[in-house]
Structure 1
């Protein structure tokens, strides 16, 4: 897979990711939802932490603002590492499967870091109103933006039977997380590496067999 095709994949993922996020941010109030199907909703929330809203301040004796800054800087280093990996495997003419997977992972990571770095200074708040792009009163500052999520698939929304130990009577929902296009690209890239591992790393597999 050539570098032009890899960059095309990255550019397409970034375009779709950012267009959907900007649309949601400028058309939805926070926690507003639209039912597409009974099992699929567009549900606007924002994530200021890591996966599932986890924050460093939940585990370390630091402020939420400091934790957000550390997380964003860590993501920048991670993206630099993934970017170097992508460039290296293209240079070495690695299998197409591996390049495609890493391209998706890189694009997804880059899509979310754009939110974290810039959204705090280009948008105002979405609480109780629709946000404005390039607002004169932004909700945050550089490196302190919140990631926009909107894809929600509550395919099962029910209650555990009373006879089930511990969980009886409690609500059960699958699939709970709300995510975005960038997250989808990352998950797809990781999935490709897992499912098509032998195609992605044929030399490694050959050495193991030898």
Structure 2
């Protein structure tokens, strides 16, 4: 399989899976509804206007800025992916960049289109292609559902910031697109020398110069 085909398949599978899961949750769950799969893993339907993991960002204007920023970032990522495909790098690097691209696109779809194709999920299950959608173009809410409360309890009082208070690890609710970005970053970290060859080459230049001097090649 060529690197180009690998990238395209990764992107298509990732984005389609992300949207299938989000649309299923949106059209089958009421906002705030939760299904306990295991004690440490639950499907909990929530939505957010801001960044990944439910963080908010600057209200309506911040929402628009974030969406536009993501669109610009996607252009940069696809350029990065195209130039990387032309190089002889490990397939994990291609997959990593493709996953980051897929995650960004997955959440952009929510932000740009969900406000005009779904009605509200409060107290009822949403309708796809609703007659009265809940928002406007570019002001959709991102659908989140994966919740992993692996540990719940009270931390010791000496613990910084949250000591002596009830605490849940991991308390953030996220979606497939968020996980793609995380996995992609982890892959690029482990294969950083191939993902960022120019930086690695620059670091080695002084050593290469000294070795060449010793060999009398300069």
TM (norm. structure 2) is: 0.86
- 1:68 corresponds, among 37, 48, 63, to 63
Deviation at 1:79, TM superposition (A): 0.8
Deviation at 1:163, TM superposition (A): 7.2
Deviation at 1:56, TM superposition (A): 3.4
Deviation at 1:116, TM superposition (A): 0.5
Task: Tell me what 1:111 maps to.
Answer: 106
- Runs of 4+ aligned structure 1 residues displaced above 4 Å come to 161-168
String of CA shifts for 1:159-180, please: whole Å, max 9, x gaps: 2346768745410110011111
Task: Tell me what 2:212 maps to.
Answer: none
Determine whether 1:81 maps to 2:76. yes
Determine whether 1:126 maps to 2:127. no
> Over alpha carbons, which structure has the higher Rg?
2
Q: In 1, Cα distance between the equivalents of 2:4 and 2:161?
A: 53
**Cα 1:145–1:2 shift into 2, 3 Å:** same
Q: In 1, Cα distance between the equivalents of 2:14 and 2:126?
A: 23
Task: Tell me what 1:145 maps to.
Answer: 140
Q: In 2, Cα distance between the equivalents of 1:44 and 1:192?
A: 28
Deviation at 1:70, TM superposition (A): 1.4
Determine whether 1:180 maps to 2:175. yes
Q: In 2, Cα distance between the equivalents of 1:129 and 1:146?
A: 16
Task: Tell me what 2:51 maps to.
Answer: 50
Equivalent residues of 1:120, 1:142 under 8 A apart: yes
Task: Tell me what 2:87 maps to.
Answer: 92
Q: In 2, Cα distance between the equivalents of 1:90 and 1:172?
A: 44
**Cα 1:167–1:55 shift into 2, 3 Å:** closer
Task: Tell me what 2:213 maps to.
Answer: none
Determine whether 1:36 maps to 2:31. no
Partner of 1:151, secondary structure, is: strand
Deviation at 1:24, TM superposition (A): 0.1
Return 5+ residue gaps in structure 2 as ranges.
209-218
Equivalent residues of 1:98, 1:201 under 8 A apart: no
String of CA shifts for 1:53-81, please: whole Å, max 9, x gaps: 33332xxxxxx222211111111101111
How many residue pairs are counted as aligned between the two chains? 204
Deviation at 1:191, TM superposition (A): 0.4
Equivalent residues of 1:124, 1:139 under 8 A apart: yes
**Cα 1:91–1:27 shift into 2, 3 Å:** same
Equivalent residues of 1:97, 1:200 under 8 A apart: no
Return 5+ residue gaps in structure 1 as ranges.
58-63
Q: In 1, Cα distance between the equivalents of 2:34 and 2:191?
A: 36
